[in-house]
A and B are shown apart, each in its own frame.
Chain A
């Protein structure tokens, strides 16, 4: 920033026409956005869907850069350890900033101190879906069946420590019922085994199971959003079934390395929240299975802390199975 101040003289005329002197300088060059997951995946499309209009709004290009590996922790570590130059941001999510810090001791960052939390983008809810041939229609019936099953009833998930594993795990742990978790590699693999009847039910991200839910080859019992989803008004939430803690989604957000100036964080948050209120963006994200959520930087940080307290112990438990 200081080095740039020398240049400021040259553009003083321009700067005068802009609202505040300090923000006049920012942004004056492209912003680097580190996406810790592979191109084309959920985090990537989500990041890019927001990055482009955000860049237009700020008047600079936002260049997405995929730094992948180790469940996103390599890319998030790269971002956290970059220089806080106000031009480096990155996508973070529930697994890099809630689950991994709870179960891993070899991370290159600290979820609490290494970041400036910028903005929440949204998340993909988890749904518990059952094969219709099992003859279970409600969450209560499932609990009843699982309580009496011997050996314990098995359920699938997109993978150990995904939210679609942790939400059912916390649910059954809270009510004290023993179930057998069978992790898959990705939500679609678990969904297909549930449709085929190899497993009776599965936890899955809502968007992956959508075709099956629409056709009725899978029956949704409960969804992990705070309120019912508009396009599926018949599916009850965990909260209304008496489990208010289970309003957690596979969320994604934006963060910057600790030390990034507060004005920049505020400006970015403002920009993101403006973009996230546009109907076409909301629709595009919903098509990809993301429910948009708006937060201030402070709310976002508090949310991360609360999620960590809620799901950290569940994650530790699940990883020691």
Chain B
């Protein structure tokens, strides 16, 4: 079989000592950078870009992609332990990861996210190996109408993340969409809600928004607490890392489904890991027989999104390598590295540079194994962080939050953003709004607007576009079904409540 020969070639390339070394450098740096909220893969990759001029392109790409998926491994750490997510997908993991940490199950959560990341990443790699050219062709069918329909599906799914009245969940999503409007309008170039400051012309910074909303709000709620530490000593022993049988039983299906969502969304340029993890989480909550456990430390709630975002990390290489279309700023950097070395990405890349392509794919696998080996011993170490008395921990976390957001663009304005969203996050807690859907609204809102307006320009104002095109029509009907299901659930819950109140 052809693929076997390719895998052999890939393994041979990836296992060359230099490539192995740079793979390790990449994933190790990625893990470190991922743990610090705010810094993110872009900063680390940018730091190493000058070095890549001197490397063989395969080694350079292996190292940079190691950082890319390595940060995703590390990214869940701060969100599980401290509720300080540095990325959108980490915010989803925090929904159940942080409650697990508070219940003294931080070690399990960290261990299991590493496992989920590995499984999701592996599935993503398999998808990439077998279907890359096919998917690249298929992705071309996604025009503005299809994207808009998908975004709508994502938002409707996100609004069901929270308990309580659906209107509150939707209001939070809409609030996120509203904040997403801030900045330069990509169609007219008009500055919207910037109040004439240059700092707002690029819009609000996602990392600053997420860290303020979750991290600062959490510190406000927890500072001055009576118990000095969050958990007891027994919860950080090595043994505490082992998941219970119940955990394992509950985990495998969400991992598989998450990887499916991740692999799918990863391939669409521009959407990627954040939507994948939100949709995977929302889906698990919907299919669960016990949705009320979500948000209170349900293991499914960390397994699905972690598996999804790692799978998406891997499959997002498909459009980048196979079409030459970067799905994110980080991917654009990687393309840049190829181009600097005189390699043109495009559909023929796999044939022209089989060593590079298959070596890279196989290095992903090796990198994922390395990450697993690297991260599991670290679990105990990270969990020990919770033994530090909180009154010492919270000023330190505050400082790291500030430095992290400052380092995003060396712009102090983002630190002000953190303060603003810290206040908003606390206010939302007081008023019983769950903050997570705001993030998705913030990410999806601008894309929805972009594709909606583009679709209207192309179709000259005809709404039929969304229902004439087959893929779009299917997605639209899925959204409709989801809404109907939500309504059915609300009505049923109300009837049950009435019945129990009467009885």
Contact = CB atoms under 8 A, between A and B. Distances in A.
Interface of A: 38-42, 44-45, 48, 65-71, 73-74, 77, 103, 106-108, 151, 154, 159-161, 180, 182-186, 188-189, 191-193, 195-196, 198-199, 207, 210-212, 214-215, 284, 287-289, 318-321
B6 interface: no
30 contacts: A38-B42, A39-B42, A39-B43, A41-B336, A45-B340, A48-B50, A67-B410, A69-B199, A69-B411, A70-B198, A71-B201, A73-B201, A74-B198, A74-B411, A77-B198, A103-B189, A160-B187, A183-B186, A188-B269, A188-B325, A189-B325, A192-B140, A192-B323, A192-B325, A198-B143, A212-B346, A214-B344, A215-B346, A215-B347, A318-B189
Contacts of B464: none
The 10 closest A-B pairs by CB, nearest first: A39-B46, A211-B346, A40-B333, A198-B143, A196-B140, A70-B201, A319-B189, A160-B189, A70-B198, A151-B460
B261 to A, nearest CB: 23
Interface in B272-315: none
Contacts of B450: 185
A319 B140 CA distance: 30
A165 B132 CA distance: 32
A154 to B, nearest CB: 6
Nearest to B186: A183
B17 interface: no
A318 B190 CA distance: 11
Interface string B183-220: 01011111000001111011000000000000000000
A195 to B, nearest CB: 7
A73 B347 CA distance: 36
A199 B455 CA distance: 10
Contacts, number: 136
Contacts of B196: 106
B188 A321 contact: yes
Interface of B: 42-43, 45-47, 49-50, 140-141, 143-144, 184, 186-190, 196-199, 201-202, 269-270, 323-326, 329, 332-333, 336-337, 339-342, 344-348, 409-411, 450, 454, 457-458, 460
Contact of A207 (B339, B342, B410): B339
A211 B46 contact: no
Given A211-B347, A321-B187, 15 more contacts: A41-B333, A42-B336, A65-B410, A67-B410, A69-B199, A70-B202, A77-B198, A160-B189, A185-B450, A188-B324, A193-B144, A198-B143, A198-B458, A211-B345, A288-B336
A318 B333 CA distance: 29
A211 B143 contact: no
B270 A189 contact: yes
B91 to A, nearest CB: 23
Contact of A195 (B140, B202, B344, B457): B140
